Structure 1
Amino acid sequence: MESTTGTRVTADSQRARRVLQRTKGKSTGPITRLASPSDIGQLIKPFVFLDYVELSAALSIEGLLHPHSGIATLTALVGGSLHLHDSKGRPRSIMAGGVEWMQAGRGVWHGGSVRSSGAARAYQLWVALPPALELSAPSEMFLRPEEVPSEGPAQVLLGCLNDQESPISVPQPMTYLHVRLSEGENWRYTPPQGHDVLWISLYSGSLDAGEQVSEGEMVIFEKSERSVDFVARENCGFVLGSAAHSPFDLVEGYYSVHTNTAALHRGEQEIARVGAQLCAEGRLTHERAIHVASQMSAVTKSVSVSD
């Protein structure tokens, strides 16, 4: 079985796009950290962080309220279901094929208990926001599986693929796909004009992408706009990120990523203001607010010294 996307041909399209780096990340319990702003995130920005979560059975986790600023997060369920709370404290559910998009902007808190009904698999992606949006008003959006468009074997989580476009407005040119291929299937990804960043994370099976990629690997391709042919060695599933490489710096706080130190300070000031409001509403304890403030302060001081 074969499927292709796009028709644009580059002058050197005969040469396979080289794999620049690969990793299996670092696992702590059910969570595998595959990319962070201080490492692989520098290569693939505006994508700056990627966690893969795999739960083998029904589980309940009492998560803590925590803040973000300067980024947008996308949580995508590739299997099972998760029951969680949105930034307003309201209960929400994400089913396989569904997503949550949260644009933290100038600062927002979220968290609380997370429960799975059974085995579940999910990715959480962070996208660094550009200067025009990193201090914008926060927003949040949940999409049911039927609201996420598909093109061939790919779900379009962000951006567009051929004529299919995600209803989520992206902060800059990017595409984020969830792809499932059957054994022997050949699928070509042709990036949109200007997209020179490309990576995949394979959560099941194995495939050939010029080089073999095995389950659990994240693979970063060289900076280029060339297409990549994916051939499934067995039934497999992966997420794919494609974008124009971000020209902006990454200034990292404990919970935040901004383009400069001044924006980071402003984001953390807003986080403190919202935290005080949550304390007044009884949703956040003063002890938790103080702990988060000390975490942010320690990292902000080190950023200021390095500047």
Structure 2
Amino acid sequence: MTTSNASTTAPRRIARRTRGHDSGGPITRLMSPSDLGQLLKPFVFLDIFSAGGATLRMMEEMPLHPHSGIATVTVFTEGRMRFNDPANGTGTIGYGGVEWMRAGGGVWHGKEMTPDEVPRIQGFQLWLSLPAELENGEPVSRYIEAKDMPQAGPAHVIVGQHAGVHSPVPAPEGINYLLVTLRAGERWTYQPPKGHAVGWLALAKGSLLADGRIEAGEMVVFESGDAAIELEASGATDAVFVLGSAVPHPHPLHLGYYSVHTSAQALANGERRIAELARKLQEAGDRRTESGTIPVFR
């Protein structure tokens, strides 16, 4: 089976590969703002997480933490998580759904979702650096279930637009982020929009051919340009992956521990707001819902 978008140029070649940094727990860091994030901005951070049993409980015990200057995008390749937020309702996020959290000027989060009754969770968390006009703006959270997310062929359009399909996620322009499953033997061509010189993918399951073999757990960076990315699921099982393309972020990255901004002043503003929210969070006391979640604090 073959699905494609027309391409008039030679396919993209792989420029770099990584398996990231495995801390020995449920999370492997594939990209950070201090390494590949410098090359792939506005994509500045990517974790793949995989947990079941005791490691699933480890993820539930992770503490609240702050962010500013970025948006986080969380998708699942296996399992489901429940959300319960007075401002956004209740529901579940599984394959094809997304949690979008634009931190802007500052938030505390980390417990706004809890595992559903599933044996295992796997997925990706991505950070996007925000443009200057949004990096210290009002935070925005969205939980969009799979039934409300659009598809274009084998791809769920998580952020941006692809093949005439638009994501409902309120993301900045010039960024595409897709969650894709190719059946064994299926071929697929992704043609990025004009100007999307940044391109990469990270594979959760299976194997792919794309200017060489890509195995589960790998992230690959494609050479700069907007030529097509040609892929084939080469193993005996389905290949499940995320793929990003974007117009390059034009600003330097100013880094805090949990924050990424376009300038030192914007970073200082974000960190000041985070500290202010920490005091208010302590004053707010126990905010845990009946289902065990703690809504994003903004």
Q: CA deviation at 1:184?
A: 1.3
Residue type at the aligned position of 2:244 = G
Does the 8 Å contact 2:80/2:95 carry over to 1? yes
Does the 8 Å contact 1:69/1:104 carry over to 2? yes
Residue 272 (structure 1) aligns with:
275
Distance verdict in 2 for CA 1:77–1:250, change over 3 Å: same
Does the 8 Å contact 2:105/2:135 carry over to 1? yes
Tell me the secondary structure at the aligned position of residue 193 of structure 2. Answer: coil
Distance verdict in 2 for CA 1:279–1:90, change over 3 Å: farther
Among 23, 26, 31, which residue is 1:35 paired with?
31
Residue 26 (structure 1) aligns with:
21
Tell me the secondary structure at the aligned position of residue 226 of structure 1. Answer: coil
Tell me the secondary structure at the aligned position of residue 37 of structure 1. Answer: coil
Residue type at the aligned position of 2:276 = R
Q: CA deviation at 1:228?
A: 1.4
Tell me the secondary structure at the aligned position of residue 63 of structure 1. Answer: coil
Q: CA deviation at 1:195?
A: 0.3
What stretches of structure 2 of length at least 5 have no aligned partner?
Answer: 288-298
Q: CA deviation at 1:200?
A: 0.4
Among 221, 225, 237, which residue is 2:240 paired with?
237
Among 40, 47, 57, which residue is 1:44 paired with?
40
Matched, 1:247 2:247: no
Counterparts of 1:203 and 1:75, CA distance in 2? 14
Matched, 1:126 2:121: no
Does the 8 Å contact 1:62/1:114 carry over to 2? no
Residue 212 (structure 2) aligns with:
211
Counterparts of 1:245 and 1:218, CA distance in 2? 19
Q: CA deviation at 1:193?
A: 0.8
Residue 167 (structure 1) aligns with:
168
Matched, 1:17 2:16: no
Does the 8 Å contact 2:43/2:128 carry over to 1? yes
| Root mean square deviation, CA, Å | 2.0
Distance verdict in 2 for CA 1:141–1:258, change over 3 Å: same
Counterparts of 2:19 and 2:116, CA distance in 1? 24
Counterparts of 1:277 and 1:91, CA distance in 2? 25
Name the count of aligned residue pairs: 279
Structure with higher Rg: it is 1
Tell me the secondary structure at the aligned position of residue 264 of structure 1. Answer: helix
Measured against aligned partners, the alpha-carbon deviations of 1:96-153 in whole angstroms (never above 9, x if no partner) come to 3211000000001112374353211111000000111101100100000011100111
Matched, 1:54 2:50: yes
Q: CA deviation at 1:210?
A: 1.5
Counterparts of 1:63 and 1:90, CA distance in 2? 23
Tell me the secondary structure at the aligned position of residue 131 of structure 2. Answer: coil
Residue type at the aligned position of 1:3 = T
Distance verdict in 2 for CA 1:193–1:201, change over 3 Å: same
More helix by share: 1
- TM-score, normalised to structure 2, is 0.88
Percent same amino acid among aligned pairs?
43
Q: CA deviation at 1:92?
A: 6.0
Q: CA deviation at 1:83?
A: 3.4
Q: CA deviation at 1:65?
A: 1.5
